[in-house]
Amino acid sequence: MKKLIALALAVVMVLSLGACSVQKAETPAPTQAAAPAATEAAAPAAPEAAPVEISLWTYPIGNWGKQEVVDQLLAKFNAAYPNIKVTVEYLTYTDGDDKVNTAIEGNAAPDIVMEGPERLVANWGAKGKMVDLADLWTDEAKADIYASVEAACNNGSGAYYEYPLCMTAHCMAINKTVFEETGAWQYVDAETHTWTTENFLKAVQTLYDAGYKTVGAVFCSAQGGDQGTRALYNNMYGGTFTNAEHTEYTMNSPENVKALETLYAQDGINFDASINGGEEADLFAQGVLQMAFCWNAATHAARTEVIGDSFEVFPMAFPSPNGTDVKLCGGIWGFGIFDNGDSAKVDAAKTFIKWVCDENTLESVSTSGFWSVRQSVADPYADDALKSVYGTFMQYMGDYYNVTPGWTEARAAAWNMLQQIGTGTPVQEAADAFVATANAAAGK
């Protein structure tokens, strides 16, 4: 009898394990947006369309990283399309790529992912994991969306792995209060928010001489916010990160080497391998640093409370030889669909993307805190004086070189290069090593 009971217990244990795994599979995703009952009731019934559940994984692109905001958007979407249920997972830039990569390798990739062309086109798209969205790119869309954005969303062979929603131009920021107090304000063109490289260096020296020993930090602990450091050394003497065809990395050009040598030698500029872009922005907001190289409208909005009334933030373009020939790094964000082999889910995902980008454009864009990729869409922040300043930087949008082959490896090698320079490796040597690594990755 005892043996029988023991056997029965063992069977129960094994079965319970199986049951546990089944239960896990049925557990709903972290957040699930469904239309409120009243809205659903009001929505037109569509009995012919079978319900489809799709997953959206989104990086923290403005308020697209906030559940309470996204839930409202999804409720509105469900009012129009009650048969498509969208579950959302919110990623961070710290471990988001790892999560997505693990999911891809485990055949559990989300249906939709929201990010930029460097991931959707140059990485997962190039690896054959994304659905071609060419059918979403109608003639009307192509005519309306900025040509540079369209080029970034295209793999160069006619396949579109991203349908874009919003964009911004990454800039830098200075502590206006301190600049005025120390006399460094004279080097700033306050009207155009620009400055020459010569004036930038004079301003840094003025602040340093006034006692601010760390005016700015060339952060390089990891890749986070690295568009800021790239824009800094590319613009100072007119260098480029890649060639115009996006086939080769050109970081070791004399212009870039001169810029990095100048920065390394400049009092008040610290090559800091202990912080990344987000941490640099935090230090600026706390008043520890007097300028931030990793900045944009959303970065500013996220730190408004910390900054408070302690000082006035003044957004600036990066310094360039004559001040106005600046080329800012652009940020483009939109949606891609992973090829999970389910056409019904792909269709539902396309419906969702079209609704977000084409039907509910203004709200979707303003949720991001950035600007529309469509020329026909008005500035969502026309009444906001500060936001409007950030909007003026769009005229300086430079080449979107993040889609160059080998970008992932090149990006990792770039912050390693800055660390080497910061620890005394000659700039030309470090830059040559970077270019060799990056071009080898591009050629694979």
Partner 1 sequence: MANKKISVNPKSRRLMVHETVTAYLFLLPFLIFFVGFVLYPMIMCIITSFFDATMGREDIFIGFGNYKELFADPVFWKALWNTLIIVLVSVPVTCIFSLWVASAISKMPVAATSAFRCIFYLPVVTGSVAVTMVWKWMFNNYYGIFNYIGQATGMIDQPINWLGDPKYALGCIILILLTTSVGQPIVLYVSALDNVDKSLVEAAEGDGATQMQAFWKIKWPQIMPTTLYILVITTINSFQCFALIQLLTSGGPNNSTMTIMYYIYYNAFKLYRYGYGNAMGVILAIVIAILSAVQFKAGQEK
Instruction: Give me the 273-312 binding string for partner 1, x by CB under 8 A, dash otherwise.
Output: xxx-------x--x-xx-----------------------
Residue 428 interacting with partner 1 (CB under 8 A): no
Which one, 150 or 280, has the nearer CB to partner 1? Answer: 280
Beta-sheet pairing, 84-90 with 52-58: parallel
Piece of 50-58, 114-122, 296-304, 417-425 that binds partner 1 (CB under 8 A): 417-425
The side-by-side arrangement of strands in the sheet containing 291-295 is 291-295, 171-175, 313-316
CB 405, min distance to partner 1, A: 13
Other C-beta atoms lying within 10 Å of the C-beta of residue 221: 16
Q: Measured from the CB of residue 157, what is the shortest distance to partner 1 in angstroms? A: 15
Of 388 and 423, which has the nearer Cβ to partner 1? Answer: 423
Can you read off the two tokens belonging to residue 404?
């160059």
Q: What single string gives the DSSP state of each residue in 313-375? A: EEEEPPPBSSSS---BPEEEEEEEEB--S-HHHHHHHHHHHHIIIIISHHHHHHHHTSEESBT
Q: Return the exposure string of 299-309: e unless at least 16 CB atoms fall within 10 Å of the residue's CB, then b.
A: bbebbeeebee
Nearer to partner 1 by Cβ, of 274 and 310: the residue is: 274
Check binding of 19 to partner 1 (CB under 8 A). Answer: no
The piece of 31-39, 270-278, 309-317, 390-398 that touches partner 1 (CB under 8 A) is: 270-278
| 254: helix, strand or coil | helix
- Among 31, 266, 408, 428, interactor with partner 1 by CB under 8 A: 408
129-158 positions binding partner 1, by CB under 8 A: 129
User: Nearest approach, Cβ of 360 to partner 1 (angstroms)?
Assistant: 33
Told to check if 395 binds partner 1 by CB under 8 A, we report no
* Cα 417 → chain centroid: 22
Largest Cα span, the chain: 94
Give the closest residue to 328 by CA, choosing from 336, 320, 339, 337.
Answer: 320
Interface mask toward partner 1 for 326-365; x: CB under 8 A: ----------------------------------------
In this complex, which beta carbon is closest to partner 1, that of residue 192 or of residue 416?
416
Q: Is residue 317 within the footprint of partner 1 (CB under 8 A)?
A: no
Residues 6 or more apart in contact with residue 165 via CB below 8 angstroms = 114, 333, 334, 335, 356, 357, 361, 364, 365, 368, 372, 373
Q: Does 443 bind partner 1 (CB under 8 A)?
A: no
24 binds partner 1 (CB under 8 A): no
| Nearer to partner 1 among residue 83 and residue 419 (C-beta) | 419
272 counts as binding partner 1 under rule CB under 8 A: yes
Site for partner 1 in 93-122 (CB under 8 A): 97-98, 101, 104-105
Looking at residues 192 to 231 of the shown chain, list those that interact with partner 1 (rule: CB under 8 A).
214, 220-222
Return all residues near 45 (Cβ < 8 A) that are at least 6 apart. 82
Amino acid at the residue 24: K
Q: How far is the CB of 43 from partner 1 (least distance, A)?
A: 40
Give 280 or 399: the residue with its C-beta nearer to partner 1.
280
In the numeric block, which tokens belong to residue 268?
């008040």
> Nearest approach, Cβ of 276 to partner 1 (angstroms)?
9
- The rounded distance, in Å, linking the Cα atoms of 210 and 182 is 6
Q: Verify binding: residue 127, partner 1, rule CB under 8 A.
A: yes
Q: Smallest gap, in angstroms, from Cβ of residue 215 to partner 1?
A: 12
Structure tokens at 294: 């990793």
Q: Whose Cβ is closer to partner 1: residue 197's or residue 223's?
A: 223
Task: Give the whole-angstrom CA distance, residue 86 versus residue 77.
Answer: 9
Nearer to partner 1, 273 or 328 (CB): 273
Evaluate the CA torsion angle 255, 256, 257, 259 in order and state its sign: positive
Nearer residue to partner 1 within complex by CB, 207 or 275: 275
**Tokens linked to 157:** 């062979």
Task: Classify residue 338 by burial, with Cβ atoms within 10 Å: 0-12, 13-18, 19+.
Answer: buried
Query: Exposed e or buried b for every residue in 163-190, given b needs 16+ CB within 10 A?
Result: bbbbbbbbbbbbbbbbbeebebbebbee
Interface with partner 1 includes 244 (CB under 8 A)?
no
What the block records as the tokens of 204 is 């840094």
Residue ranges binding partner 1 (CB under 8 A): 3, 6-7, 10-11, 13-14, 17, 97-98, 101, 104-105, 126-129, 214, 220-222, 272-275, 283, 286, 288-289, 408-409, 412, 415-416, 419-420, 422-423, 425
